[in-house]
Structure 1
Amino acid sequence: MKALVVCLDGMSGVLLSGPAVRAVAAGAEHVTLLCSPRGEAAAALLPGVDEVLVWDAPWEGARPPTVDEADVDGLLRRLREAAYDVALVVPTSARGPLPIALLLRMAHVHRIGAEGVDHPATLVDVSHPRLPGRHDAEAGLDLAAALGFAPRAGDDGRPRILPAPDTSGLTGNGPYVVLHPGAGAPERRWGAGRAAETVALLADAGHRVVVTGGPDESGLCREVSGGTAVDLGGRTGLRTLAGVVRAADVVVAGDTGPAHLAAATGTPVVSVRSPAVSAERRDPYGVPAALLGGPGGATPQDVLRAVRSLMRQGVA
């Protein structure tokens, strides 16, 4: 059986699709993950994926391509040539499944499953309602089960990634806390001043701090590090970042992507939410976590207390 798992979301959605991907892989001979360019690096880290197919959908992301730029005909040609037996459209917090379900039907995918209760039977063979209170990772497993895919025995259903590299050459020896101040969406970004104050507070409390960020966040990370923390801003791809967060005592992040990456490596997370952000469906899953935020936002003192709490619990 050839299976297609579709997740056109970014890094967070792809990482949370991992449990469903592994369930599908337990019952299929070949699994392809169709993802967006924003999720491609994360897709390469997922166990159970045999092939990654990248497509930029004209309805996804902050700056979607035009229909012509998206080359819908090219996608349909590739899907038809692959001749998939089944497709699972992973539940996400973004757009609904119907646009991609239509394309999958046009590509002659035999059986299509998606979350929802009122999808046309001409487009979706298995419409599975989301159960109350289900996290996105759990909802993906629920949908996989509705399509007949069960996890392998012993699979705990948590997000996981392939083994991460040893990054002690970057971080130095000894325990440390990771602080990731950047974010793809403006509403998730820390102010540089608040993040720098948090670094100083953690360092004064005896924690060695490693600051991480993407290629376009080098200046932010330099400012936040302030000569106190190890500055890895712009120096890590996603797989290397996975190694950095895997070896950390705790990861402190405002953006969901790094938080989910840490959780997928088994590292406890302090998730610092903006007051404007509510993401219960996408809280760090499967690891001890502290969720900070509220009308006034989280303070550096809140972060320090959360880090100490996780470490006192003996989980870091």
Structure 2
Amino acid sequence: MSGTVLVARLDNAGDVLLAGPAIRAVAAGAREVVLLTGPYGSDAARLLPGVSRTVEWRAPWIEPAAPPVTASPVSSALPTSSAPSAPSAPSVPPVTGPHVLRLLRIVRDVAPDQALILTSAHESPLPLALLFRLAGAFRITAASADQAGSLLDVRHVADEGADPPEAEHMLALARSAGFDLPPGDDGRLAVRHPLPEVGHLTGPPGYVAVHPGVSCPARAWPVESWARTVQDLARSGHRVVVTGGADERVLTARLASGAGQHGLSPGPVFAGGWTRGGPGDACGPERDELIRTGGWAGRHVETAVDGWIDGWSDGELVAPDSAGGAKGRSVTDLGGRTTFAELAAVLAGACVVVAADSGPAHLAAAVGTPVVSLFAPVVPAGRWAPYGVPVVILGDQRAPCRGTRAVTCPVPGHPCLSSVASARVVEAVDRLTFAKESVT
């Protein structure tokens, strides 16, 4: 059993969530796990099982030049971000003595027995390893394609011909350091429970959650496509919850109000204040039972419309509306209204999450919810798609931007995603609606 292990993952929320299995492996063999993150990953870090405490430091070689801001590549600019509760931050700090000394003090206060530096394949762990060496004498493990000299005690070298999912890549590094998952741990992503109660915001579980925000323009689906998809989901009978950070309120309001302009919200109100349900109002076998018996717990006024259930006869699904939530609406706007933990709870209550390549897509996987992923191939989907849950990937994975890691799409018209029709998203949602029960 090791003493204190310092694990570093310095980038965004999704990267930190993908480190979860590796961190649980370390926690199974250590007295304490301290997780070092950057500001955009700290909220996710606090949700990870196995983490004893977190510390934060902005790495100049990893942090973006400014807080994440996107504009739809083929529509009007709207601010979005992949980490809903990420703090506003100034430009990247320069590599100065005071900034480096702050990290040295953090590491010396932690006083680790060893450290694991988790990085993506395109990132070098050696700058951080050098600073860790200056902070004290302890065992350091990292994956590095470059010779590391005395900077690393364990240099994990991945198979260059393989491109495993990122979660498995980091777990392999943990195994190189002598840590492995305990018996019974399936290696999927996970979060701490219990999560906050969010029924007053969302209504009963079984809605479709739509998260349009991304961290860079190259991964954005056009705003018009998001708006059309929200409308089409509502028309097909799904309740829709649109999520986003405080800096995404303009975007989420546009999507929700666009549905309202087409007569989709508010819908007919039944007992308890909720609009009629749809295929997404119950998951898997639960939905089958709802349709077979004609009601939730057998208390439904039996009215079938186009093969789905039209409402409830009593207060079985009562939900308060003190926060101005989804009462009487088929589309609910939660932009800027949730913490990261609350967002996790919202996604956990969904039958399916529709999202671009973003932190919330990985958060959906961590709470066991299937994902329809609008995935731009600037990074490989095999490595970065939502892990461990049923997923449908939409987007041309053979587009010219493939593997470029571009922040802004280099191809006019953004064809890899702009070619995806909303009907394909609705079809994918219907296909995955029954999948959640098999995951949870």
Alpha-carbon spacing, 1:66–1:24, altered in 2? closer, same or farther (3 Å)? same
- The answer as to whether partners of 2:7 and 2:116 remain within 8 angstroms in 1 is yes
CA pair 313-265 structure 1, distance change in 2 beyond 3 A: closer
Task: Indicate whether 1:293 and 2:395 are aligned.
Answer: yes
Q: Is 1:43 the counterpart of 2:39 in the alignment?
A: no
Structure 1 residue 46, shift from structure 2 partner = 0.5
**What is the distance in 1 between the residues matched to 2:105 and 2:424?**
52
Distance 1:93 1:236, change over 3 A: farther
User: 1:93 deviation in Å?
Assistant: 4.7
Aligned to 1:16: 18
Q: In 2, Cα distance between the equivalents of 1:99 and 1:116?
A: 11
Superposed counterparts of 1:72-221, under 5 Å? 72-131=100-159, 132-163=162-193, 164-221=195-252
Task: Assess if the C-alpha contact under 8 Å between 2:357 and 2:376 holds in 1.
Answer: no
The 5 Å alignment of 1:50-89 reads: 50-63=52-65, 64-68=92-96, 71-89=99-117
Bigger-Rg structure (1/2): 2
User: 268-277 or 172-181, which moves further after superposition?
Assistant: 268-277
> How far off is 1:94 after superposition?
4.9
Residues 222-259 of structure 1 deviation map (CA, whole Å, 9 limit, x = unaligned): 11112341000111110000000001000000132010
TM-score, length basis structure 1: 0.95
CA contact 2:368–2:436 (8 Å) conserved in 1: no
Residue equivalent to 2:382: 280
**Shift in alpha-carbon separation, 1:89–1:172, aligned structure 2, 3 A:** same
SS where residue 229 of structure 2 aligns?
A: helix
2:208–2:353: 8 Å Cα contact kept in structure 1? yes
For 1:256 and 1:100, the matched residues in 2 are separated by 25
Distance in 2, matches of 1:47 and 1:88, equals 17
Q: Is the 8 A contact 1:9 1:92 kept in 2?
A: no
Q: Once the 2 structures are TM-superposed, how far is the Cα of residue 180 of structure 1 from its aligned partner?
A: 0.6
Q: Find 1:269's aligned residue among 371, 378, 386.
A: 371
Higher helix proportion, which one? 1
CA distance in 2, matches of 1:161, 1:179: 20
The structure-2 alpha-carbon separation of the partners of 1:122 and 1:276, relative to structure 1 and needing over 3 Å to count, comes to closer
- Larger RCO, structure (CA 8 Å, separation 6 or more): 2
CA RMSD of aligned residues (A): 1.7
Which deviations, in whole Å up to 9, do the C-alpha atoms of 1:192-222 show, x marking residues without a partner? 2111100111111111100001101101101
For the residues of structure 2 that align with 1:213 and 1:93, how far apart are their CA atoms? Answer: 29
Percent of pairs with identical residues: 46
CA–CA separation in structure 2 for the residues paired with 1:154 and 1:5:
23
Q: Please list every run of 5 or more consecutive structure 1 residues that lacks an aligned counterpart in the other structure.
A: none
Higher mean C-alpha deviation, range 144-153 or range 126-135: 126-135
Post-superposition Cα deviations, 1:254-279, rounded to whole Å, max 9, x if no partner, equal: 13201000000000001102365544
Higher mean C-alpha deviation, range 165-174 or range 230-239: 165-174
Report how many aligned residue pairs link the two structures.
Answer: 316
Is the contact between residue 57 and residue 70 of structure 1 (CA under 8 Å) also seen in structure 2?
A: no
Distance 1:219 1:69 in 2: 40
Q: Does the CA contact (< 8 Å) of 1:2 and 1:28 recur in 2?
A: yes
In structure 2, the gaps of 5 or more residues are 66-91, 266-330, 400-414
TM-score by length of 2: 0.69
Match of 2:429 in 1: 307
CA offsets 1:150-197 (integer angstroms, 9 cap, x no match): 111111111111122221110012520001111121122232211110
Hey, what's the Cα distance between the residues in 1 that align with 2:31 and 2:358? Answer: 32
Residue identity matched to 1:147: A
